[in-house]
Amino acid sequence: MGYVTAADGAEIFYKDWGSGRPVVLSHGWPLNSDSWEAQQLFLASHGFRAIAHDRRGHGRSTQTWDGNEMNTYADDLAVLLESLDLREVTLVGFSTGGGEVARYVGRHGTRRIAQVVLVSAVPPLMLRTPDNPGGLPLEVFDAIRAGSLADRSQLYRDLADGPFFGDNRPGADVSAGIRDAFWLQGMAAGHRNAYECVAAFSATDFRADLDAFDVPTLVIHGDDDQVVPFAVGGQASAARISGAVLKVYPGAPHGITDTHKDQLSEDLLAFLEGYIS
């Protein structure tokens, strides 16, 4: 474990497990690198160097007042890769982390990157706009912001008990531990940081970033994702990225890093070893 220092002095926490070809994992909102522990442990146990960081304002990283937007998140990721001198990296982004990864490619290119994986990711663009009529209405994100201001602890509880892990679906059985971990990680994020990140993940247009992808890309998405609907996220991203491979998890919710952790770990390993292409 350690820290790298961003351009504005923010300290970005990271966990660095194992040795071998590097895999860098970017987490979702309002979580931190702990949300990747199942995949990080698995990959480090299979001959890879698995690195996961806490986005600024989340977990153990500095809770900056400014910089809670995708350009800065991507630049912080660049500082991590450059400080550790990582090359031939597989970048893996879950949900908001998928946006961070996409914006990194758009701003910094793929000189250090060998592969990209987008998991339940927010690109190309979540928000409904005149040229993105299939997106979600602004009212959806305004409701999240209102819930955060009113009682963010309860907001995170409601998300964990409902749509994030699909525990509101008939027959779902998501453990209390998984749901509690979501709440705990959310409460470790700074209030302003998490609030402003809602706009970052919902209103940032990643279409030009996806057009810049020029390395093998795997897109994984559940077709019952109630947070980033499949048609808005994974399906649209895979259609836009040249040569991307789309893997759909039937009936899966948004939080597949937990609900489908074994399947996801195996699919990441297969992609890393060239068995998914």
Report pLDDT for 53.
98
Report pLDDT for 277.
62
260 is catalytic: no
225 is catalytic: yes
254 is catalytic: yes
Dist CA 100 CA 34 (whole Å): 17
Of 241, 233, 152, 230, nearest to 198 by C-alpha is 152
CATH code of domain 2-272: 3.40.50.1820
Tokens at residue 240, please?
Answer: 């836009």
Report pLDDT for 8.
97
Can you give the pTM of this predicted structure? 0.98
Q: What are the strands of the beta sheet with 89-94, ordered from one edge?
A: 2-5, 11-17, 48-53, 21-26, 89-94, 113-119, 217-222, 245-249
Domain boundaries, the chain: 2-272
Report pLDDT for 175.
98
| Active-site option among 16, 167, 225, 267 | 225
| Active-site option among 254, 258, 265, 267 | 254
Report pLDDT for 88.
98
| Active-site option among 33, 95, 148, 237 | 95
The alpha carbon dihedral of 244, 248, 254, 259 has a sign of negative
**pLDDT mean values, one per 10 residues, the chain (277 residues):** 96 98 98 98 98 98 98 98 98 98 98 98 98 97 98 98 97 97 98 98 98 98 98 98 98 98 98 85
